[in-house]
Amino acid sequence: MWVKDIFYSFQGEGPYIGVPQIFLRFYGCNIHCAYCDEPDFSHQKKNYTRDQVLAELAPLMAKKPHSISITGGEPMLQTDAILEIAPHIEVPLYLETNATMPEKLDVLLPYIRYYSVDYKPGFLKEFTAFIAKIAAYHASPFPLESGSSATNDRHLNPPKTLQETLFVKLVLTPGFSPEETASVAKAVADLGIQIPFIIQPVTPFGTVQQKASMQDIEQNFAAAQTWLSDVRIIGQTHKFIGVR
Ligand code: SF4
């Protein structure tokens, strides 16, 4: 499995800001966002076995993390690797994904406790299918996939509500279309669910050198609020407090 980094820090985005986490950062992504702060050009990748990953995680567990962030790049490019590791990890898994590959999600559903699901422009159909699967699984009386002995299994460690387990995030670049934001929020509302909808003003990086304006923020907030009740503006806190 291709890993870029394993480290302890604090969640810097979304409703779980500030919780201590171990970050298991997989290498590589299937899309290319202009503002990406984990571009592949660095080529810092390690070809690890499952046991090497578990050996690096083990000493970090002593810091009592809230969860392990399975992140990237795009971790769902390496679903098989996540499945190899998940049954051997005893703290909840927190998946950060671009939601472009809903067809790969089913096998992970029994193992993931928290979902940080990004909307990426051009992938509304995939995004909608992705969150629909999570909502359906959460509402089902038994897991679609059974037989897990992991402590992440929801029978042993169940999420309390869908709002606790799933939130969506839209990175707000300058001039982002409020109509597109409204389409994303409507897609969520049309599923009959209400979950936190996070608008994350972009941190200038790469070819994106400007922040979103106050007008961008207000207009996109209002567009999302037309459809959803829990809309929040939350930036990337780890960037300004200076942690990874
Ligand atoms: S989906 Fe995430 S990792 Fe992939 S290019 Fe976009 S910001 Fe970077």
Domains defined for the chain, CATH in brackets: 2-241 (3.20.20.70)
Question: Rounded mean pLDDT of 213-226?
Answer: 98
d(CA 29, CA 10): 23
The predicted-structure confidence for 71-85, as pLDDT tens digits, reads as follows 999 999 999 999 999
Residue 142, pLDDT score: 55
Question: SS3 for 187?
Answer: helix
d(CA 18, CA 9): 9
Question: Which is it for the CA torsion 240, 8, 196, 104, positive or negative?
Answer: positive
Q: Read out DSSP for 151-162? A: TTSTTTS--S-H
Mutate to test the pocket of ligand 1, among 5, 23, 29, 101 (most ligand atoms within 8 A of CB): 29
Measuring CA to CA, which residue among 127, 125, 123, 217 is closest to residue 166?
Answer: 127
Q: How far is CA 7 from CA 13, 62, 242, 243, in A?
A: 17, 13, 15, 11
How do strand 20-26 and strand 2-10 relate by DSSP bridges?
antiparallel
Question: Rounded mean pLDDT of 203-207?
Answer: 84
Q: Which residue's CA lies nearest to atom 8 of ligand 1? A: 36
For the question of whether the overall pTM of this predicted structure is more than 0.85, the answer is yes
The predicted-structure confidence for 185-195, as pLDDT tens digits, reads as follows 999 999 999 99
Confidence of residue 144 (pLDDT cuts 50, 70, 90): very low
Residue 204, pLDDT score: 85
Closest approach atom of ligand 1 to CA 100: 1
Mutate to test the pocket of ligand 1, among 36, 41, 76, 171 (most ligand atoms within 8 A of CB): 36
Q: Read out DSSP for 15-76? A: GGTT-EEEEEEE---SS--TT-SS-GGG---EE--HHHHHHHHHHHGGG--SEEEEESS-GG
Residue 64, number of CB atoms within 10 A of its CB: 8
Q: Which residue's CA lies nearest to atom 1 of ligand 1? A: 98
Give residues (CB < 6 A) around ligand 1.
29, 31-33, 36, 38, 72-74, 98
Confidence of residue 42 (pLDDT cuts 50, 70, 90): low
Residue 33, number of CB atoms within 10 A of its CB: 20
User: Cα 73 from chain centroid?
Assistant: 11
As given in the structure block, the two tokens for residue 86 are 């998940």
Q: Please report, as a single letter, which amino acid is at residue 43.
A: H
Q: How far does the chain reach from its first CA to its final CA, in angstroms?
A: 22
DSSP bridge partners of 117: 97, 168
Contact partners, residue 11, CB within 8 Å, separation at least 6: 17, 18, 19, 21, 66, 69, 94, 238
Q: Please report, as a single letter, which amino acid is at residue 28.
A: G
Residue 16, number of CB atoms within 10 A of its CB: 18
Question: Rounded mean pLDDT of 119-124?
Answer: 98
